[in-house]
Amino acid sequence: MLKPVRLADLMDFGIEMKKLVLILSLSLLTFSTAFADAQSDVTARLKDQLAKLIPGQSPSSIKPSVIDGLYEVAYGAQIFYITEDGKYLIQGDILDLKNRKSVTQQAARKGRAEVIAKIRDEDTILYKPKGETKHTITVFTDIDCPYCRKLHKEREAYNKAGIAIRYLLYPRAGVGSPSYDKAVAVWCAKDRAKALTEAKINNKVDMKTCDNPVKEHLQLGEEVGVSGTPAILLEDGTLIPGYRPAADMAHLFAQRDAQAKSN
């Protein structure tokens, strides 16, 4: 048999529920704050540990990985993992078997995108379309690399497809090599775009020196994981190693644009 309920009892019950909700909210806030503080302490400790291992460089980020007790450390696009106690360092990919994706490569792509986004056009050698620029690629190039030269011969075809090319100079033989000296000379030319074409297509280089960013370009290449030239970077951080014909790249962008519209 149902018993009648007094209004006063309902009001008391409501008050008690409000108290309970308030207590739970405060408890969650306290737990959340304590958890954030604990994470901050771990991150600071790991940062100190890494400073001893890699002096003079600070990681772009340190954060919990998808695996409990393992932290993801990023130096630009260079990703590795360290245990919470700082005793073990792990290099390699973490694979998401359910989604069949590399968690590590996703993080690396994001890191490359962040690096590329900070590069100004004036710090590159730029070839722009005469009309609308639909997409921009950033290419690490070596003047003496045969496939770099092959790609450069298609610069006009790239531009006609609405794709701008931003070159960063990456002499693979390193600082002080003939390729490095050519890269410096090209950068120091009055018309860098013309000088780069002359160097690549006609092997003509007016050797000169000036303040230049070639060492910085080399460092950027290391940071984003360049291992050979040409190396093509898309705006989303995707790294495409090697030569790609302009038609293939235009097709790739068309597919991406269609997919973006469908989503």
DSSP string of 120-159? -GGGSEEE--SS---EEEEEEE-TT-HHHHHHHTTHHHHH
* 148 classed as catalytic: yes
Which one of the listed residues 109, 112, 145, 181 is annotated catalytic? 145
**Cα separation, 107 vs 105, whole angstroms:** 5
In the structure encoding, which two tokens stand for residue 126, read together? Answer: 């730029």
The closest of 209, 160, 155 to 180, measured between CA atoms, is 209
**Where does the pLDDT of residue 75 fall: very low under 50, low under 70, confident under 90, or very high at 90 and above?**
confident
Record the pTM. 0.77
Average pLDDT over residues 33-38: 47
* pLDDT recorded at residue 185: 96
Map tokens 């630009």 to a residue.
76
Helices (H) and strands (E) in the chain, counts: 8, 11
Sign of torsion over alpha carbons 71, 75, 79, 82: negative
Instruction: Please give the pLDDT value at position 149.
Output: 96
pLDDT in tens, 111-156: 999 999 999 999 999 999 999 999 999 999 999 999 999 999 999 9
Per-residue confidence (pLDDT) for residue 164, from 0 to 100: 97
Does the annotation count 257 as an active-site position? no
Query: For this structure, is 188 an active site residue?
Result: no
145 belongs to the catalytic site:
yes
**pLDDT at position 10 over 80:** no
In sequence order, what are the residues at sequence separation of 6 or more whose Cβ sits closer than 8 angstroms to the Cβ of residue 206? Answer: 185, 189, 195
CATH numbers and ranges of domains, the chain: 35-102 (3.10.450.70), 119-262 (3.40.30.10)
The whole-number average pLDDT for the span 168-193 is: 96
